[in-house]
Structure 1
Amino acid sequence: MENKDIRKAIEDSGLKHWQVAEALRIHEGSFSRQLRRELDEARKREVFQAIEKAKLAL
């Protein structure tokens, strides 16, 4: 499975993928498709920032 670190961070935060996608301002399906392939480091940083942003919105 690709992007295990991102998937684990989402699970540990108690968020759902759709909430992270919303913080990234993209459709849930687009986010799901992006996670199928390993993301580059720049995109991973964006996703981790979105996870933090979404956690604050809870």
Structure 2
Amino acid sequence: MFKRNLEIREVKGKIPFWVIAERLGVHENTLRNWMKSEMLEERKREVMGAIAQIKEEMKKKGEV
């Protein structure tokens, strides 16, 4: 199977897609559709930024 957006998949770890989508203000299905083809750099940065914010919040709460 072809894996697109591998960098995002690796960085997100066990963070559910719905949590990332909620942070981005989109539906989970939208994010999953974005993951089906390689994202443009701007969108990739946006998603990676959301993941970084979520991880930072998890770290502060001691969940990581």
Q: Shared fold (TM-score greater than 0.5)?
A: yes
- Normalised to the residue count of structure 2, the TM-score between the two structures is 0.79
The structure whose RCO (Cα within 8 Å, separation 6+) is larger is 1
- Normalised to the residue count of structure 1, the TM-score between the two structures is 0.86
How many residues align structurally? 56
Q: What's the RMSD between the two structures over aligned residues?
A: 1.1
| Stretches of 4+ aligned residues off by more than 6 angstroms | none
Structure 2: gaps spanning 5 or more residues: 59-64
**How much identity, in percent, do the aligned residues show?**
34
Asked which structure has the greater CA Rg, the reply is 2
Structure 1: gaps spanning 5 or more residues: none
